[in-house]
Amino acid sequence: MAKAMPIIAGMCHALAYAHERGFVHCDFKPANVFLTDSSEVKVIDFGIARGFLPPADEADKTVFDPGSLGGMTPAYASPEMFEHREPDPRDDIYALACVTYELLTGRHPYERMSANQARAAGLKPPQPRELSRTQWRTLREALSLDRETRTPTVERFLAGMSAASAGPARPALLAGAAVAALVGISAVGYYAWRTGRTAPTPPVVAQAGSSSTTPSTPPASTKEAPAAPPVARVQTEAFSMPAVLRVVAAVPCSLLVANSPENGRVRVRGYLAESVGVSRLREQLNALPGMKSLEVDTQPLSADKCDIARTIAPYWSGRRDGAAASSLRTRGNHTQLTEGTPLVLELHTPARDSYVYVDYFAADGNVAHLVPSARVPGQQAPASYSATIGDGGDWVISRPFGTELVVLLTTPAPLFDGRRSDVESWQDYLKALEKPLGQMAHKYGQDRISADLVEISTRAK
């Protein structure tokens, strides 16, 4: 708390300054808070900040364009931002509370779910042990998923958090880790959430009979925290690829595949939960006996994409051989797309006749069905078929912006009796997919269904 409170106070002062001048940040998150070399707190990126009206001018709401909040980050956006309500300082207070909770614990209060998903799931964040009753009441109110019961001002939030803590002192190592989380280094959120420990190890690692090992060097392109200094250990057990696969399979909210071209040398690739992070995965795998070298080539997957990952995990082409796999890519493998840019996708189907579904999971919690759709009504494809869609400017990047997914599903028969509406919510669509996918896997075999995805990042011009 001694290290965290100056950062919390700095964030509060910056937001209060903006609110006093009639602006809401609208995209407050750890990546937009910087610590200088002299430990000053700087809040940046007011690119989508919006004006708000004080209560006395409530009748003049219509001057606002809530739809312009499309650049919000789902894990830190208030429920009201998803509802496109007018900007309010309490939107920033919700994000501030999420960042504060993450700073203190190393994990997001709602497992990085968006606020509307957390509300639908009935999630309640556990109390951090560092906080006094007053501090926890303050933080809990600021995390409210209802604007009316949320802390009304940053000043009141800071006053409550500044109350003396009655909890036990936080170990210095963990305080340092919390500061690292603020500037964007992923923390072990999922395991800490599930077990209540700060840095637990899944049972498969604990059973391996080995405490630590020399970390292998990550690829030059992988950005992660510096590896811990090598720790010597006695080699007592042989390398076991099944043990590697058990660790990989236990990682939540991820699509991962591991192989070992040579005994003791392992490569892991795919999509990895942000709440786990590359460093933590490397730590778990390097702790296994007989590990000689480890290459991790993954893309981060945020918690709000977990339901999508779970739905397609049994059919993900990353775990299939070439004949049974489908593939989806953006043209030129460009995944950073700007407003006004056409979305052009290149797909390849498995070595059998199939029905094709291409769905765009947007940052606002909706899914747009690209194939089949009014623009691309045909969805039957012959074996090993390659196609490019969108090169005629069918789809153009626009608001909302953020990290989004495009998913390809190929099936041996139609999933639905007719074409679905062009746009619907993620949850409705994923729920609708569950039964027909299960029935099709039972009837034709799981290997007759294939899925792939591409993660893109969209932004305004």
CATH classification at residue 424: 2.60.40.3880
According to DSSP, residue 199 is labeled: S
At 181 the pLDDT is 31
Q: What total of structural domains would you count in the chain?
A: 3
Query: Are residues 45 and 164 both part of a single domain?
Result: yes
Q: What's the confidence (pLDDT) of residue 164?
A: 56
What pLDDT does 237 receive?
67
With a threshold of 0.85, does the pTM exceed it?
Answer: no
Domain that includes residue 295, residue range: 203-301
Query: Both 146 and 259 in a single domain?
Result: no
- Out of 277, 301, 325, a domain closes at 301
Residue-wise pLDDT tens digits, 136-193 = 999 999 999 999 999 999 999 999 998 754 343 333 222 232 323 333 322 222 222 2
Nearest alpha carbon to residue 302 among 70, 75, 118, 3: 75
Whether residues 143 and 51 share a domain: the answer is yes
Q: Are strands 450-459 and 402-411 parallel, antiparallel or unpaired?
A: antiparallel
Residues 320 and 371 in one domain: yes
Per-residue pLDDT reduced to its tens digit, 261-283 = 888 899 999 999 988 889 999 99
93 SS3 class: helix
> Does any domain span residue 81?
yes
Handedness of CA 408, 409, 410, 414 (dihedral sign): negative
Residue bearing the bigger pLDDT, 70 or 321: 321
Residue 196, domain member (yes or no): no
Domain membership flag for residue 212 = yes
Pair 290, 320 in one domain: no
Of the listed ranges 221-235, 258-272, 350-364, the one predicted with least confidence: 221-235
Q: How confident is the model at residue 72 (pLDDT cuts 50, 70, 90)?
A: low
Domain with residue 101: its CATH number is 1.10.510.10
Q: Which helix (H) or strand (E) holds 255?
A: strand 255-262
- Model confidence at 48, pLDDT cuts 50, 70, 90, reads low
Q: Is residue 307 part of a domain?
A: no
Q: What is the mean pLDDT of the chain?
A: 79
Confidence band (pLDDT; 50, 70, 90) for 71? low
- Where does a domain end: 185, 219, 234? 185
Amino acid at residue number 239: F
Q: Does residue 434 share a domain with residue 325?
A: yes
Confidence of residue 203 (pLDDT cuts 50, 70, 90): very low
Q: Indicate the SS3 state at residue 256.
A: strand
Distance spanning both ends of the chain, measured CA to CA: 40
Give the residue from 251, 276, 301 where a domain finishes.
Answer: 301
Do 137 and 266 sit in the same domain of this protein?
no
Tell me whether residue 18 is in a domain.
yes
How many Å is the maximal CA-CA distance in the chain? 74
Q: In this prediction, what percent of the chain has a pLDDT beyond 70?
A: 78
Residues 217 and 269 in one domain: yes
Query: Residue 31 class from Cβ within 10 Å (0-12 exposed, 13-18 middle, 19+ buried)?
Result: middle
